[in-house]
Amino acid sequence: MPQKKPRYKRILLKLSGEALAGEKEYGLDPAVLSEIAVEVKELVELGVEVAIVVGGGNIFRGVAASASGMDRASADYMGMLATVINALALQDALEKKGVFTRVQSAIGMQQVAEPFIRRRANRHLEKKRVVIFAAGTGNPYFTTDTAASLRAIEIHAEVILKATKVDGIYDADPNKIKGAKKFLELTYMDVLRNDLKVMDSTAISLCMDNNLPIIVFNLNKKGNIEKVVFGEKIGTIVRRAKKNA
């Protein structure tokens, strides 16, 4: 039998900082980093080009600090630096598994990361290196979800895979509300109209304007990343409404 081929050739994986913390309330869980590295390595070996955007909420949340009285711009820059820490940790975990990587930062720090240059990022991906985008967009007031949408569009990714702790998008928090309804498929406008907490409105609007699908799935279930890449119906997909036949 012919070997099944991945549905997507180039993906952007969005990882929250909280996902890298595992069961901890703060910091990084080496076991989680190692598990993610193994799954990403399997994708690379299948010929999938992988870019990653990491958040920083496991170390510092700019919005929370701002709500406590800190200047919003300063708080957001601190959050961006937290994403660089996570990116370097993920790079280390991947390279220990034999995966070639590059970290590109939207904030200049030559000693630890390359500057973000779109053409260079695309070239790394063509050479089957995993590119980890750090420091968000490099601007305050924008989330790492927006950074994920922006970078995915810039590198011509076919899909954004948003890894979370739940198995898709619900109409309420399934961890708090029993009987919360799971959606298998949504349009961008469904997400915006119903204020579903998937990604912020700027990120959703960018994806909508560029017809870039988003798949939200459970990172904690081993093998889910590969299943999504092979087109299995995992989690919830957000995309443009299908035209009537």
pLDDT value, residue 244 = 54
Task: For tokens 């985008």, name the residue.
Answer: 133
Which H/E stretch holds residue 39? helix 30-45
Strand ranges inside 81-223, DSSP E: 101-105, 114-115, 130-134, 159-164, 169-170, 182-183, 185-187, 214-218
pTM: 0.93
Task: For tokens 């309330």, name the residue.
Answer: 25
pLDDT value, residue 245 = 41
Superfamily of domain 10-239: Acetylglutamate kinase-like (3.40.1160.10)
Could you state, in order of their start, the residue ranges of all structural domains in the chain? 10-239
- Cα atoms found within 13 Å of the Cα of residue 197, Cβ hemisphere only: 6
User: Which residues are bridge partners to 53 per DSSP?
Assistant: 14, 133
Q: Which residues touch 213 (CB under 8 Å, ≥6 apart)?
A: 158, 159, 160, 207, 237, 238, 239
pLDDT along the chain (245 residues), means of 10: 80 94 90 96 97 95 84 94 97 98 97 97 98 97 96 98 92 85 94 91 97 95 94 94 62
**What is each CA distance from 64 to 12, 49, 235, in whole angstroms?**
26, 34, 28
Nearest CA-CA partner of 136 in 209, 55, 31: 55
Cβ neighbourhood burial of 228 (10 Å; 0-12, 13-18, 19+):
buried
